[in-house]
Structure 1
Amino acid sequence: MKSIIQKAGSILFLLFLIFSFNAKTNAQPDAAALYQQYCAQCHGSDLNGGNATSLVDGVWQFGAEDGYVIRNIKHGIPHLGMPSYERSLTDEEIRAVVGYIREAEKEEGAVKPPAPEMVETMDYFMEVETFADNLEIPWAIDFIDENTALITERPGRLRIVENGVLQAEAVKNTPQVLHEGQGGLLDVAVDPEYERNGWIYLAYSHELKEYEGNRPPAMTRLVRGKIENNTWTNEELLFEAPPETYRTTRHHYGCRIVFDPWGYLYFAIGDRGAGYQAQDFSLPNGKVHRIHKDGRIPENNPFLYDDEAMKSIYSLGNRNIQGMAIHPETGELWTTEHGPMGGDELNMIESGKNYGWETITYGRNYNGTIITELTHMPGMEQPNFYWKPSIAVCGLDFYRGNLFEKWKNRLLVGALKYEEVRLLQIEEERVVHEQVIFKGAGRVRDVSTGPDGAIYVVLNNPGKVVRLTPEE
């Protein structure tokens, strides 16, 4: 009898230990205590700032979305003195701290400040005015002439701004797009000889309708057409990948369109989430492509006579290019490419070159794990410049106007995460100076020199386009 009682007592004690352990492990982190222990010294016990910025003023300099904030806490921002907490806090504790900050924002009534009306740079005071407002995820802008602009909205609308007024009705009959994830209507480009031929080019995510399944595959597609009576007409298909290369992922489509002085058209397709495929010549994704404006393949394309390669490929090993620009004087093709966490790149793209993804990279996976230990390899190009941590580069243009004379031929770089426009001075293919000229008005999706010499910035959150001019 005694042994039975002892066994029963042992079992009850074991159950108590198990219950206590489960209760401890299932307990929610004390977010307020964690904040005071790890964050308050810099950001203030009341979250209103101290040695570092306020967390309840609606301003997020290094990414406003939860994912960005979580990664910034976990991995730090070393170049600004913010340490990483991945060894001090669990992922659950970091998420709890972010939730605590969000609740404090609500209590404070934090709202994003409006775009400034005046910005000071190293060279100019700039006036900021709204060019187009109340847009839904605007993605790109280009100009037919000084009085007419075209803006894409990612859900699938092509909008016209005429004489400074956004037209109420979108262009009718534009291609049907797959608006899911990062897909939708992407770039718009006006033919350099538009006055003679009237062509306008569109890039978008296209799904295979005939596919039977819950998640039809998709890929980036390129067409051109004309606008007559606010209607898309005369459409011609310029590039469509083979159906077997389409993917069911919904991110990394690319895609920008540019023209060089010799009449070639360049566009980029992202790796579509399959980085290893960026090294495969037989697949379209993770590449820069070059075609003639009517879709024909140039006779001097680098892989034209390779039986296994896609004939339109111009370069490979590109993760997800969302910025492309042609140098106004040299005709060189420059691109900005999203890295993973770290490793955003600026590259001058040359025929047949391999830019390394994902064999070499300066970035890591978003969870902090290593993609590869390699940053160099024979036969693979080094970036002309890279950002670590990443700023989420998007939109690119060489300044070509006359309003900002000091910035002639300097490179305008947009940043989604950091909500910035940066200005890069390049000499002998090297970045010798970088400055932020515009920040905090929204996620910068595109940046372009207008025919009037102003700088036009396409913003997400809020969806609008702003116009930058020097103070008169």
Structure 2
Amino acid sequence: MKSFVQKTRRTTLIISILLIFFSEMYAQPNGPALYQQYCAQCHGTDLNGGNAASLIDGIWQFGSENGYITRNIKHGIPHLGMPSYERSISDEDIRSVVQYIRAAEEDKGVVKPPTPEMFETMDYFMKVETFADNLEIPWAIDFIDKNTALITERPGRLRIVKNGKLQSEAVKNTPKVLHEGQGGLMDVAVDPDYNRNGWIYLAYSHVLENSQETRPPAMTRIVRGKIENNTWTNEQVLFEAPHETYRTTRHHYGCRIVFDPWGYLYFAIGDRGAGYQAQDFTLPNGKVHRIHKDGSIPEGNPFLYDESAMKSLFSLGNRNIQGMAIHPETGQLWTTEHGPMGGDELNLIESGKNYGWETITYGKNYNGTIITDQTHQAGMEQPNLYWKPSIAVCGLDFYSGDLFEKWNNRLLVGALKYEEVRLLQIEEDRVVHEQVIFKGAGRVRDVSTGPDGAIYVVLNNPGKVVRLAPE
């Protein structure tokens, strides 16, 4: 019996040695070897840069998260001359390169550089001040008056900044949100007639808690209420989609809220991960909606008399709008829309029009596969501008104030991936100039003109709000 056990152990040992031998013999190069083979010529053998940027200085111009770096290696950054490597090395090998870069950052003790205190643009020197700090995934900002701001935190908190100080206690009794995936408490908007009526509007992901499904379905919901003694009161539900249209996915909720000069309220719901549904008039997702501020449906809505269509629909074919702004002079509705890879869009939204998703697009899936080879189709609108590569647009506002007079009526565009604010000059509905005015402080979730004329930028990673003003 003892001899049998010994033979078995020897056999197991021999098999183990052979497995190690053959696995090493046929193994692919590891991260350091792959880096030296494919990356070192441009980024330096020590990762400190050369013909291209350093990879261990803490500055990532085109997305600092592992997913962004992986996609940049795989699909390249063509406009900067960086080739794609999807045909040269496998996804697993690309991940090993990213792990090697991250390990090198850790060995060097790299940390994200602090936010610069000054930025130089083509028109102004801007000073940067922290307006609110130590926030958890802040999503939006709006102002009650020049001394009072409201900030949403995606986990479900509504915060108040009063006289330049973030109040320690969040507003009590706000709606329960589904904080999962991309869901949570999203936009906050102050009624243009707040001084008269006191209404504040919220957008959030609402879950059907009594659902019998293992994963309860959810959808974007719009409510309004008032704040009294730091408590959310008098809540009214303005929009709640039919429960049969709720989805179990946890991404692409939208959602921004804006008001035009005629008192209409607009909001957008993302496609919720079902792009084909953005073309379906009977469903709420992948659309822009228009309602009155009390939730009622305007008589002029484009699909009001279509028996099968949702009455609140204003446009369709919108993938995932996370930026909405009303032009201060024309009253036009402009949006920025998260596209797939290489398909972020700026659109002028007009009543009843179809913006194409997912029948037409300039982007492709994040894994590089084709969504459609069509970029144009009769009856579908072209974007006023599209970004390729995608910058992950988020947050939008037309500047209107006294501090940056040269920028009045120009469009402020936030970008999550590129961690920047861009300024777009629009003439006759065409973008004629674009410049980056702020970059590298964090993922830009929202950007807004304050009542004092300063520009307020909501950042994720770190969770804070900064104030930009001329020097």
User: Which whole-Å deviations, capped at 9, do the CAs of 1:269-297 have from their partners, x for residues lacking one?
Assistant: 00000000000000000000000000000
User: Which whole-Å deviations, capped at 9, do the CAs of 1:217-246 have from their partners, x for residues lacking one?
Assistant: 000000000000000000000000000000
Asked if 2 retains the 8 angstrom alpha-carbon contact of 1:75 and 1:84, the reply is: yes
| Map 1:309-324 → 2, pairs under 5 A | 309-324=309-324
Asked if 2 retains the 8 angstrom alpha-carbon contact of 1:29 and 1:96, the reply is: no
| Cα separation, 2, equivalents of 1:402 and 1:358 | 41
| Cα separation, 1, equivalents of 2:381 and 2:240 | 28
Asked if 2 retains the 8 angstrom alpha-carbon contact of 1:315 and 1:351, the reply is: yes
| Cα separation, 1, equivalents of 2:201 and 2:470 | 31
Percent identical residues: 84
Counterpart of 2:335 in structure 1 is: 335
Counterpart of 2:8 in structure 1 is: none
What one-letter code is carried by the residue in structure 2 that aligns with 1:384? N
Asked if 2 retains the 8 angstrom alpha-carbon contact of 1:29 and 1:92, the reply is: no
Q: CA deviation at 1:19?
A: 6.4
Counterpart of 2:403 in structure 1 is: 403
Aligned length: 456
Counterpart of 1:368 in structure 2 is: 368
| Cα separation, 2, equivalents of 1:312 and 1:104 | 52
Counterpart of 1:438 in structure 2 is: 438
Q: CA deviation at 1:33?
A: 1.0
User: Which whole-Å deviations, capped at 9, do the CAs of 1:346-385 have from their partners, x for residues lacking one?
Assistant: 0000000000000000000000000000000000000000
Correspondence 1:273 to 2:273 = yes
Asked if 2 retains the 8 angstrom alpha-carbon contact of 1:264 and 1:292, the reply is: yes
User: Which whole-Å deviations, capped at 9, do the CAs of 1:54-109 have from their partners, x for residues lacking one?
Assistant: 11111111001111000000000000111111111111110110000000000000
Correspondence 1:96 to 2:96 = yes
CA RMSD of superposed structures (Å): 1.4
| Map 1:18-33 → 2, pairs under 5 A | 23=23, 27=27, 29-33=29-33
| Cα separation, 2, equivalents of 1:237 and 1:93 | 50
User: Which whole-Å deviations, capped at 9, do the CAs of 1:39-59 have from their partners, x for residues lacking one?
Assistant: 111111100111111111111
Counterpart of 1:122 in structure 2 is: 122
Asked if 2 retains the 8 angstrom alpha-carbon contact of 1:337 and 1:344, the reply is: yes
| Cα separation, 1, equivalents of 2:375 and 2:39 | 33
Q: CA deviation at 1:22?
A: 6.6
What one-letter code is carried by the residue in structure 2 that aligns with 1:254? G
Correspondence 1:158 to 2:185 = no
What one-letter code is carried by the residue in structure 2 that aligns with 1:452? D
Counterpart of 1:210 in structure 2 is: 210
Relative to the length of structure 1, the TM-score reads 0.95
| Cα separation, 1, equivalents of 2:192 and 2:139 | 20
Distance 1:267 1:21, change over 3 A: farther
Counterpart of 1:348 in structure 2 is: 348
Q: CA deviation at 1:31?
A: 1.2
What one-letter code is carried by the residue in structure 1 that aligns with 2:173? N
Q: CA deviation at 1:24?
A: 6.0
Secondary structure of the residue aligned to 1:434 is strand
| Cα separation, 1, equivalents of 2:444 and 2:30 | 36
What one-letter code is carried by the residue in structure 2 that aligns with 1:247? R
Q: CA deviation at 1:28?
A: 5.3
Q: CA deviation at 1:213?
A: 2.6
| Map 1:48-447 → 2, pairs under 5 A | 48-447=48-447
Relative to the length of structure 2, the TM-score reads 0.95
| Cα separation, 2, equivalents of 1:160 and 1:20 | 60
| Cα separation, 2, equivalents of 1:213 and 1:299 | 37
Q: CA deviation at 1:155?
A: 0.1
| Cα separation, 1, equivalents of 2:342 and 2:26 | 33
Counterpart of 1:45 in structure 2 is: 45
| Cα separation, 2, equivalents of 1:408 and 1:42 | 41
Asked if 2 retains the 8 angstrom alpha-carbon contact of 1:323 and 1:394, the reply is: yes
List runs of 5+ in structure 2 lacking aligned partners.
1-14
What one-letter code is carried by the residue in structure 2 that aligns with 1:58? G
| Cα separation, 2, equivalents of 1:28 and 1:370 | 28
| Cα separation, 2, equivalents of 1:367 and 1:198 | 47
**4+ residue segments displaced more than 3 Å:** 18-22
Q: CA deviation at 1:214?
A: 2.0
What one-letter code is carried by the residue in structure 2 that aligns with 1:186? M
Counterpart of 1:451 in structure 2 is: 451
What one-letter code is carried by the residue in structure 2 that aligns with 1:285? N
Q: CA deviation at 1:26?
A: 7.0
Secondary structure of the residue aligned to 1:128 is strand
What one-letter code is carried by the residue in structure 2 that aligns with 1:206? H
